Each structure stands twice: as structure tokens, then as C-alpha cells.
């Protein structure tokens, strides 16, 4: 047994980053950790030895008890790089609840207990009970909460395990994790050292990302640093841009979106309906449970759909694709790919007409398709979709080809194929699959959760009611999601995607696309070329790749990440975050308090008028960037200087009692007349 006199005596070996990722040590990395106040915990997550009476006794914290817990969390956060974010009941990493400990003999002598984090980023493992805190009825107090939260973030008792703390220091005045001494009201010196070691020091929260935001929809947005980043998601949903580097992500439950960027990325979607894009590099993507959309991009990728109705596009390179359980749609793209459908009715897409491919059959179940896309090997697939028709594999025998599917569709009314030509497909009620293929097709899903695949041609889709997935394919397509949560993928061409009501995901892909979210908080991904996104009502998230893009948030708390190019951003009302990147960008935060990140280089313009509220401007480069004052009380550079006050390393230009511009990193003496225009 090792006896020490420092903070290592309270390190359990657990943290919210696990122990390591790809061989890299993680102590010292800031972390986002969610918490919730719960009314119950699933019986399946509690210890099997817990009595039923204990399980039945779980009760929520009172409002006063919640205030004590939040105060204890704040102490740990203020001493480290931890950022604690409150989420709805049942969804926290740390879940607080009270119980009657007298109903279970093994707990009767305690006032509370907390579980260590139980996370493995590499292996997509996050035990939901890990981090949870249980407190005896009426025992919630600041000292106890500091102690139990200590367990929940990875600290042990100083007298347990190896090493242990020298007895003379094993006291609550040194660490709240001790059992000896008077009940503390503040963290001890060993606690401060330990939490700074494990999660970095005070004021570093969020510094593991180049930018981040916590949205009104309980969605955590993170933008990577351009290095080898590590991301851990929330149960409530995530939007992550990895940027360059070999990134590792475990996104947890929730409907998540991640764009890996350059590098060899490893992404686990976990439960929820996820949109995962590896982009360039040799990527490994796991959709896991839920109806997921996976894109490999360039490189030799491995894509695993997992359970659910998945849409997987491997991209260029020699890829391996596994659909997993459920009715999946798999596209290999260029390269020699291995595609396996697994359980369910699976569809495999090929870009050219049937005549462009030679097909070999082995053992009645393995199909080798050799053509313009490369040589693909297909296992456990029911349908092959070519540009001019669809073929069923169900009746295959060795070394024989197979007949096209009847254009009127199989016996079920839910599976419709248009084939070549200009087709009209109507799904009606139920969960429908409508495949237009070549030609200018029109498809109506009706009620139910529908799946559309347009193929080549200029197609028009209407999802109607239900949660719909619309994959437009090549051509200049128009897709209407309708009410509810819809997923719209434009494919190549200049597309118009309209989400309608609900929280929609709109992915423009190649071409100059128009993306309209409608009501609800929507997610937009523009990809390359020149795209236009309009959010409508709700809290919207725009992630636009290279190109000259335009994005409008309207009402709500909106987030913009525009990528390279000459972009234009309109935040509208609400608290918005606008990130520019390279290029000559134009920023209009709109009403409310907005945060503008102009990005490196370029000649950027900030539009500011009498209704703009407060704009906090980062990355402003004197002599390169411009503030355009429109209809304000400031009509000359002299008036600007008179209205400017320095506060340390930044300055504030106060236009009137309700409007101001904060220039972060710029002082009054640095300003030039050429930095402003007036109208």
C-alpha cells in the first residue's frame, strides 16, 4: 500500500474522458458535463441487489435542494475546466435524486453516495448510472454535495484503494472527499489541485474547442481546433465540426450531427437519429441505434449503420459498409467497396445504367458488381438500384442474372419503384419507400414515416406528415419535408429543400442549393458551392462548407459556422453566434446580444444599425475589416471615438443606451477612420 501526501490520493482513475483515447493520456483536458434533477432512475440501471422499496422511494430534489447542488457544482467548475450544463430530467450525465436509504440495509448508514464516471471514448461506452448521485431524504447540504459530486467527476476517498493519504492530512479541511473533521463549505487545497490536474485549471472551460455554444434546444455545438480533437456528446443532442486532424467522438444519445473534416476520424453516433460525415480521410463511422445518415467522403472508410433505417454513402475510396439491422440504403461510390446489408430489406445504389456493369453471382448470396464505380462486392442485399432501373436479388442462382422489379412495385403498397422515365409515385398512408431512379419524377409520401430516393433527373418530393427521409440524388431537385422532423439530402445539382414544420435536417451537398427550414429549430449543412439557408422561426444551426453562402436565422438563438468563402450572415432577433472563417464575410447579428467571430484574414464587414442591440466582435483586424454604421446616432469617425471606451484589452463603442459594439482585442487608440462607414 502506497501512502502519499498529495492530491493523487483522491484520484480514482475515472473521469468523464475515460482513461485514454488512441493511446493519448487525458488528464488536464477540460470537459462539458451535463446534469439533471430526476424523478426516477430506470430499474435496469440500478444495482440488481437494490431492494424494490429503495427503488420505489426515489424522489426529486426540492427547489432549495437544487440550489445547493448547483452551488456545489459551481465550486468545482470555478476551480477547473469543467463546464456543467443543466438538461431536462433523465438526460444528465450526472443525475441527482433523493431516496429513503432506510429501505435498503446496505445504504442505511450513509447520507448519500455517488457513482464514478464510467466512460470509454474508444469503445463507445457510457454507462448511464455512472456519475449519478443519490442522497438520503432531507440530507442535502453543501458539504455532502461537494463530496458526492467529487465522486461523480472521478474522485475517491483518501483512505480507499491505492494510494492512500497520510493520516495526518486525511481531513475535510484538506479534501471534501475525507470522512474526518467538520463538515466543509468549500473545496480543500487537495481538491483544488486534483480537479485542476484532471480537467485543467480555472477559466479553461471550453478551451478544448475553438468555439462552442449551448443552445436553447439543449444542443451542444462544438468546433474543433484543427488538431486531433476528442469530443464527448450529450444525451440531448450535439452539432460538432471536427475541422482538420484525426478526431475521436462518442456522441451519446440524442439526435446528433458531426462533420469530421480532414483527417482520419472515428465517430460513434450512439442512440438517436444521427447525421455523421467523415469527410476526407480514412474514417470509421458507427451510426449505432437509430435511423442514421452516414457519409464517408474521400478515403478508405469503414461505415457501420447499426440498428435502424440507415442511409449510408461511402464516397470515393475502397470502403467497407455494413448496414446492420433494419431497412438500409447503401451507396459505395467510386472505388472497390464491400457492402453488406445484414438484416432487413436493403437497397444498394449504383450511379450508372445497368448496361455499364457486369454482374457475377457466387453461392446465390454474394453479388460482385464491376463497372464505372469500381468493383463492389454486395452481401445480403435485396435490391440493386441502377440509374435506369431496379433489380431484385431474391431469386438469384449461381451465374445467372435476375429480372427487373415490376415498375408497379412489389405486392406491398409501401414499396414503389419508378424506373427510367418521368414517374409519379404516391405512397398514401403508412411507412412508404418511393424510388424514382432516372427521369424527372414526382413523389408524394402521404402520412407515415416515408423514405424517398430520386436518383438522376429533376425530381419533386413531398413528404407529407410523418418523419420523412428524402434523398434527392443527382439533378436539380425540389423536396418538401412537410410537418414533423424530416431529413432532406439534396445530392448533386442545384436543389431546393424545404423542411416545413418541425425540427428538420437539410443537407444540400454539391451544387448551389436553397435550404428553407420553416418553423422549428432546424439544422443546415451547405457543403461546397454557393448555398442559401433560411431558418425561419426557432433556434437554427447553419454549418456551411466552402463557397459564397448566405444564411438567415430570423427569430431564435441561431448558430452559424460558414467555412471558407465570401459569406453573408443575418442573425435576426435573439442571441446569435456567427463564425466566419477565411474570406470576405458580412455579419449582421440583428436584434439582441450577438457574438461575432470574423475569422482569420479577409476583409470582413459588420453591419450595425439602430436596432442591432449589442454585438460582441472577435477577430476584428484594424485596417482590414469594416464596421458599417447604418442609421445610428454616430455619423462620423470623431463621434465614434467620443463614444468609445477602453476596458482592458477591448473597447466598447456605445451608439445609444440600447446599442453597442464590443471590439475584443482592439483598443480605442488603434482604430482608424477607414475602419468605419456611415449611412
Residue 347, SS3 per DSSP: strand
Spatial distance between the Cα atoms of 413 and 383, rounded to a whole number of angstroms: 17
Per the CB < 8 A criterion, the answer to whether 516 and 537 are in contact is no
In whole angstroms, give the CA distance from residue 302 to residue 311: 14
CB 419 within 8 A of CB 389: yes
More confident residue, 671 or 421: 671
CA-CA distance, 184 to 168, in Å (whole number)?
A: 17
* Angle 256-230-510 from CA coordinates, rounded to 5°: 50
- Cα dist. 358→107, 352, 377, 386 in Å? 69, 12, 12, 12
Cell numbers representing residue 240 in the block: 460538432
Least confident of 134-138, 408-412, 500-504: 408-412
Specify the 3-state DSSP secondary structure of 655.
Answer: strand
d(CA 210, CA 90): 29
Beta carbons within 8 Å of 294's beta carbon, 6+ residues apart? 276, 277, 285, 287, 303, 305, 310, 311, 312, 313
Following DSSP, what letter does each residue of 188-204 receive, concatenated?
A: -HHHHHHHHHHH--TT-
**What pLDDT shows up at residue 80?**
97
pLDDT given at position 406: 35
Grid cell, residue 582, equals 477565411
Cβ(413)–Cβ(431) under 8 Å?
A: no
- Grid cell in block for residue 655: 451608439
With CA atoms as reference, report the closest residue to 72 among 155, 223, 176, 170. 176
Residue that has been written with the C-alpha cell 431558418 in this structure: 535
pLDDT for 19 equals: 64
> For the chain, which domains are there?
3-199 (3.40.390.10), 209-290 (no CATH), 539-678 (2.150.10.10)
DSSP string, 360-386: EEETTTEEEEEETTEEEEEES-SEEEE
Q: Compute the average pLDDT of residues 607-632.
A: 94
Element (H, E) at 78: helix 63-78
Give the model confidence (pLDDT) of 151-193 as tens digits. Answer: 999 999 999 999 999 999 999 999 999 999 999 999 999 999 9
Alpha-carbon span 543 to 565, nearest angstrom = 13
pLDDT in the model for residue 166: 97
Backbone dihedral region for residue 602 (phi beyond 0: left; psi -120 to 50: alpha; all else: beta): left
HEC string of 178-243?
CCCCCCCCCCCHHHHHHHHHHHCCCCCCCCCCCEEEECCCCCEEEECCCCCCEEECCCCCEEEECC
Residue 11's alpha-carbon distances to 33, 157, 195, in angstroms, are 18, 9, 9
Give the pLDDT band of residue 25 (cuts 50, 70, 90): very low
Q: What is the DSSP letter of 404?
A: B
Residue with the three cell numbers 492530512: 169
Give pLDDT tens digits for 288-345.
988 888 988 889 999 999 998 888 989 889 999 999 998 888 988 899 999 998 888 8
Task: Tell me the pLDDT of the chain averaged across its residues.
Answer: 86
Choose the weakest-confidence range: 222-231, 395-404, 474-483. 395-404
- Helix axis angle, 142-152 relative to 63-78, nearest 10°? 60
- What's the average model confidence in pLDDT over 528-540? 84
Largest CA distance in the chain: 85
Amino acid at each position: 500500500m502506497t501512502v502519499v501526501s498529495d492530491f493523487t490520493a483522491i484520484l480514482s482513475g475515472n473521469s468523464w474522458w475515460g482513461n485514454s483515447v488512441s493511446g493519448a493520456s487525458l488528464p488536464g483536458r477540460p470537459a462539458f458535463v451535463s446534469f439533471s434533477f430526476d424523478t426516477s432512475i430506470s430499474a435496469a440501471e440500478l444495482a440488481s441487489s437494490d431492494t424494490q422499496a429503495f427503488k420505489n422511494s426515489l424522489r426529486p430534489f426540492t427547489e432549495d435542494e437544487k440550489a445547493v447542488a448547483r452551488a456545489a457544482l459551481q465550486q468545482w467548475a470555478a476551480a477547473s475546466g469543467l463546464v456543467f450544463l443543466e438538461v431536462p430530467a433523465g438526460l444528465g450525465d450526472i443525475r441527482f435524486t433523493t431516496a429513503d436509504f432506510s429501505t435498503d440495509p446496505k445504504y442505511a448508514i450513509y447520507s448519500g453516495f455517488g457513482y464514478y464516471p464510467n466512460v470509454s471514448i474508444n469503445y463507445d461506452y457510457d454507462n448511464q448510472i455512472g456519475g449519478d448521485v443519490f442522497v438520503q431524504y432531507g440530507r442535502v447540504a453543501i458539504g455532502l454535495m461537494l463530496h458526492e459530486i467529487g465522486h461523480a467527476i472521478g474522485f475517491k476517498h483518501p483512505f480507499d484503494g491505492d494510494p492512500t493519504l497520510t493520516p495526518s492530512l486525511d481531513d475535510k479541511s484538506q479534501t471534501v472527499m475525507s470522512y474526518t473533521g467538520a463538515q466543509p463549505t468549500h473545496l480543500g487545497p487537495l481538491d483544488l489541485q486534483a480537479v485542476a490536474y484532471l480537467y485543467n485549471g480555472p477559466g479553461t472551460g471550453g478551451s478544448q474547442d475553438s468555439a462552442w455554444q449551448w443552445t436553447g434546444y439543449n444542443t451542444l455545438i462544438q468546433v474543433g481546433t484543427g488538431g486531433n480533437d476528442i469530443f464527448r456528446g450529450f444525451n440531448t443532442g450535439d452539432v460538432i465540426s471536427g475541422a482538420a486532424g484525426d478526431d475521436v467522438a462518442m456522441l451519446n444519445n440524442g439526435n446528433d450531427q458531426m462533420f469530421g473534416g480532414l483527417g482520419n476520424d472515428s465517430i460513434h453516433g450512439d442512440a438517436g437519429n444521427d447525421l455523421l460525415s467523415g469527410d476526407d480521410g480514412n474514417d470509421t463511422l458507427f451510426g449505432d441505434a437509430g435511423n442514421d445518415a452516414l457519409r464517408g467522403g474521400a478515403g478508405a472508410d469503414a461505415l457501420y449503420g447499426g440498428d435502424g433505417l440507415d442511409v449510408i454513402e461511402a464516397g470515393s475510396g475502397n470502403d467497407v459498409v455494413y448496414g446492420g439491422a433494419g431497412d438500409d440504403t447503401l451507396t459505395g461510390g467510386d472505388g472497390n467497396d464491400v457492402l453488406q446489408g445484414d438484416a432487413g430489406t436493403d437497397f444498394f445504389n449504383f450511379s450508372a445504367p445497368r448496361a455499364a456493369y457486369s454482374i457475377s453471382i457466387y453461392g446465390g448470396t454474394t453479388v460482385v458488381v464491376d463497372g464505372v464505380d469500381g468493383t463492389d462486392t454486395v452481401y445480403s442485399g435485396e435490391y440493386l438500384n441502377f440509374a435506369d432501373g431496379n433489380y431484385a436479388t431474391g431469386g438469384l442462382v449461381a451465374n445467372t442474372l435476375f429480372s427487373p422489379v415490376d415498375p408497379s412495385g412489389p405486392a406491398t403498397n409501401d414499396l414503389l419503384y419508378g424506373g427510367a422515365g418521368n414517374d409519379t409515385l404516391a405512397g398514401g398512408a403508412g411507412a412508404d419507400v418511393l424510388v424514382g431512379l432516372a427521369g424527372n419524377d414526382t413523389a408524394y409520401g402521404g402520412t407515415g414515416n416515408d423514405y424517398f430516393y430520386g436518383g438522376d433527373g429533376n425530381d419533386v418530393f413531398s413528404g407529407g406528415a410523418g418523419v420523412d427521409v428524402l434523398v434527392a440524388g443527382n439533378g436539380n431537385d425540389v423536396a418538401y419535408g412537410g410537418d414533423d422532423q424530416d431529413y432532406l439530402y439534396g445530392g448533386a445539382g442545384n436543389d431546393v429543400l424545404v423542411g416545413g414544420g418541425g425540427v428538420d435536417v437539410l443537407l444540400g451537398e454539391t451544387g448551389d442549393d436553397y435550404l428553407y427550414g420553416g418553423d422549428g429549430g432546424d439544422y443546415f449543412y451547405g457543403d461546397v458551392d454557393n448555398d442559401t439557408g433560411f431558418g425561419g422561426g426557432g433556434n437554427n444551426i447553419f454549418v456551411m462548407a466552402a463557397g459564397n453562402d448566405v444564411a438567415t436565422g430570423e427569430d431564435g438563438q441561431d448558430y452559424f459556422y460558414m467555412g471558407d468563402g465570401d459569406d453573408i450572415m443575418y442573425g435576426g432577433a435573439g442571441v446569435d453566434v456567427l463564425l466566419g472563417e477565411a474570406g470576405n464575410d458580412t455579419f449582421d447579428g440583428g436584434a439582441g446580444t450577438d457574438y461575432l467571430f470574423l475569422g482569420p484574414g479577409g476583409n470582413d464587414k459588420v453591419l450595425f444599425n439602430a436596432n442591432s442591440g449589442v454585438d460582441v466582435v472577435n477577430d476584428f483586424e484594424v485596417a482590414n475589416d469594416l464596421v458599417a454604421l447604418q442609421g445610428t446616432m454616430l455619423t462620423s469617425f470623431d463621434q465614434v471615438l467620443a463614444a468609445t471606451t477602453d476596458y482592458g484589452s477591448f473597447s466598447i463603442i456605445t451608439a445609444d443606451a440600447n446599442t453597442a459594439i464590443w471590439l475584443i482585442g482592439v483598443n480605442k487608440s488603434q482604430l482608424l477612420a477607414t475602419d468605419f462607414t456611415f449611412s
